[in-house]
Chain A
């Protein structure tokens, strides 16, 4: 009898111990800052990496020559300054006393080796960003001269991202193409371990050049794809910060006194691309008649769309540059919805209504909902919009091959306006899936990328938008997203920057 009574008690005790051990953080964990990412990053090699979440991890591992601040200004990081000797020649001065995680000194030769690798390693994704470099010379230990093929207003901004990350030459030589399995850079944290799809762990680098601003001992990045589970981890205290949460989850965070929300502008945009000349699907009335595209856009109420699907969190727009961008054209605003005018335009175009139009939509819940709301809106103007929800990889291929009529597609955005415009608007650019072509827009885009005077450059972008967006209706820009970061109330020092990266400098847990 006694034995029988003891067994359930032992089981209960074990269960209680299990629950307690799971719930109470060990002292070591208190120093561990855990960040929930929306997906597992790809390879941690600045030359070969391409995912956004990878950049979040790089923010702790690899410092760059330059960085951007919350006002999108370019500020020095591993560099202390730069000067243009002429519009094609840039001299960068480096910070003295910087060490890589393996103890090697960071100098001009290391910068040359890293940039050279970005330019020449097979499979490099950085070549497209800095391929304009024609030569490099080490002037002295702390100065490097970079020669460009032509003047470039965007070049410096490229060095604020992975192209500007400097890697240890010794580690590069030892690891070669496997450098990403154990990256060695000059960031505030050094690589500890990576378990694919589970975690990436970095620990504080004692010899970091800006060590006074680093207050965390260890950061663990945990990829958690499901947004509900990501939020549940934050609510239960298993994470200190989540990289992004859905607008739907914002009220739950606001209600929780132990959590804080940080909402900041993002660099990118959501748009609807038209097929205007990529294969037979671009030859329909929508692709060929600007009146029909105008009618389609006038039938959409961006504000209502934003309220219905995104709780009004995003910023409706008519252009590719978000308000945070210094080149954002303030008076270039979305036109209000006008169903009567849209119907009149369709009558003028002489098409039979309802006009059947297909929209390719990446198959995720919120974008499908966006498609459905647009479907209902444009029906009132005389469009029969059919949604074609496709898994993202397949939709990309379909877009590239011209197998679409309209495509709901987002762009993560770049610091320089060239990164949000050229690749999508220029007739010979690779991401112009709809093959929009206007020689005047091409000329203006080419001019804007080499114009170093910011006032003149802004005017060039205004002209580009007036022609490509308002006159030709080459694409509908719907809204700029927001970076919605949720974190524990114990976190101090978090500054949202429009690029959405989590910079560890200044972060402190109370």
Chain B
């Protein structure tokens, strides 16, 4: 097990190095000179532009900029935001709990709606309830988040006045307000997840319900409820759980449009603003941090698999 662990951790380092090169290299392809953006309406002054370039090392060769950035990153220093001059690590740590809260709430909403609907749809296959659930799921998948978001704001905030239209309150400051500010964006994101989960649960359940062991269970005289819940669902959930973790990881990477509409100060909003302002250190830091989370989650999954299945340890 120790050897397996060492091997897997050893694989992470080159992965992150290649990723850092990609992140750094790809953003150089973005058009738009960061010095011009940072200078704003002072862009006409060559002295101002030269100073910005010198201060941010933009006048140095790319390899030098990359090595300088990398040498700081390995000691945990992601640099500072060019736009608001705050340390990038501070921004990431500030946004991470926000995105985590939103992702968790969305995921819970997605699972609570998606999995039962998928099961019911499979059980009632080709009946009106199945068609209705499928139609709703199709609507959930194809509805753009920004449209649904604006509609929810207009209904629950402007017309009914029940919920704040946008903004964010951390749960430790005021749990109710925190819930009130995140429930709509979580619902918008959650409906998307629910639709995906519903479709996959339905497909997996249909597969499971046609298996021999289900027929055997029915032959034993078990009630349909027990057959579905204890025999079919348990087996059908394995691919759904895998899909669920991927969906959760996607939510953690930040929901760009939803965060923008509801003004949720999470990862998605951070990275969009940073890209538009050519705030390179923030873009690099956020992408790298997101990748690191993914890599660590995948390592954790591998370790769990290895713990459960000894054959994997030797692989």
Contacts and interface: CB of A to CB of B under 8 A. Distances in A.
B44 A431 contact: yes
A238 B167 contact: yes
Interface string A51-73: 10000000000000000000000
Give the interface SS of chain A, mostly helix, strand, loop or mixed: mixed
Interface stretch (A102-110, A190-198, A211-219, A442-450): A190-198
Contact of B84 (A177, A196, A397): A196
Given A236-B165, A397-B31, A397-B33, A229 B84 contact: no
A19 B163 contact: yes
Nearest to B37: A393
B56 to A, nearest CB: 9
Contacts of A233: 157, 164-167
A336 interface: no
A229 B270 contact: no
Interface string B22-50: 00000000011100111111111111100
A198 B85 contact: no
A226 B47 CA distance: 35
Contacts of B270: 196-197
Contacts, number: 162
Contact of B262 (A195, A229, A431): A229
A466 B153 CA distance: 51
A236 B265 contact: no
B159 to A, nearest CB: 9
Contact of B165 (A238, A394, A423): A238
Interface stretch (B120-128, B173-181, B226-234, B238-246): B173-181
A497 interface: no
B138 interface: no
Interface residues of A, number: 57
B162 A393 contact: no
A48 B164 contact: no
Given A21-B177, A123-B51, A127-B47, A196 B265 contact: yes
A181 B85 contact: yes
B43 A431 contact: yes
Interface string A70-105: 000000000000000000000000000000000000
B94 interface: yes
Contacts of B86: 181, 196
- The majority secondary structure among interface residues of chain B is helix
Contacts of B168: 198
Nearest to A21: B176
**Chain B interface residue number, banded:** 35 or more
A197 B84 CA distance: 10
B162 A430 contact: no
Contacts of A326: none
Contacts of B157: 232-233, 235-236, 238
Interface string A108-122: 000000000000001
B261 A226 contact: yes
A393 B154 contact: no
B271 to A, nearest CB: 11
B162 to A, nearest CB: 4
Contacts of B212: none
Which of B81, B85, B86, B162 counts the most A-chain CB atoms under 10 A from its CB? Answer: B85
18 contacts: A19-B162, A22-B162, A22-B177, A40-B273, A50-B41, A51-B40, A122-B55, A196-B84, A196-B265, A222-B166, A232-B166, A390-B31, A393-B31, A393-B278, A394-B32, A430-B45, A431-B43, A431-B44
What 8 A-B pairs have minimum CB-CB distances, sorted nearest first? A430-B44, A393-B32, A22-B180, A431-B44, A198-B265, A50-B40, A394-B31, A19-B162
Given A178-B85, A390-B31, 16 more contacts: A17-B176, A21-B180, A23-B161, A41-B84, A50-B38, A123-B55, A125-B48, A199-B167, A228-B153, A229-B166, A232-B153, A232-B154, A233-B164, A238-B164, A393-B33, A431-B43
